[in-house]
Amino acid sequence: GAVVSQHPSWVICKSGTSVKIECRSLDFQATTMFWYRQFPKQSLMLMATSNEGSKATYEQGVEKDKFLINHASLTLSTLTVTSAHPEDSSFYICSVGTNEQFFGPGTRLTVL
């Protein structure tokens, strides 16, 4: 299956700063990547679908101006959490694939 990496694994930032999370598909050319958020002891919630060379598709209730997604190449998508607040603290996971999804290891964001 595809190998997906995320960077960083863990980030701690101050409230009001912006944080960029990278998702790389190491051996799979992904025209589409998915971003999920997982709060403690909860399920994964799809935030947005990242489309290579075009705008991301956001799920209902997800602010596109707060969670900026850029999918500049077939192997890299980035999620930028702008003006992060403590309530944005979560585990962010990306995935690639079609019928079978391959997940990255996740990025834990802690906003102080």
Partner 1 sequence: GEDVEQSLFLSVREGDSSVINCTYTDSSSTYLYWYKQEPGAGLQLLTYIFSNMDMKQDQRLTVLLNKKDKHLSLRIADTQTGDSAIYFCAESLTTSGTYKYIFGTGTRLKVLA
> Which residues of the shown chain bind partner 1 in the complex (CB under 8 A)?
1, 32, 34, 36, 42-46, 49, 57, 93, 95, 98-106, 108
Give the C-alpha separation, 33 to 96, whole Å. Answer: 5
- Please, which residue, 17 or 42, has the CB nearer to partner 1? 42
- Whose structure tokens read 């997940």? 103
Q: Given the complex with partner 1, which of 15 and 31 has the nearer CB atom?
A: 31
d(CA 13, CA 50) in angstroms, rounded, equals 24
Q: Which is nearer to partner 1, 75 or 107 (CB)?
A: 107
Task: Provide, rounded to whole angstroms, the least separation between the CB of residue 23 and partner 1.
Answer: 11
- Report DSSP state, residue 98: S
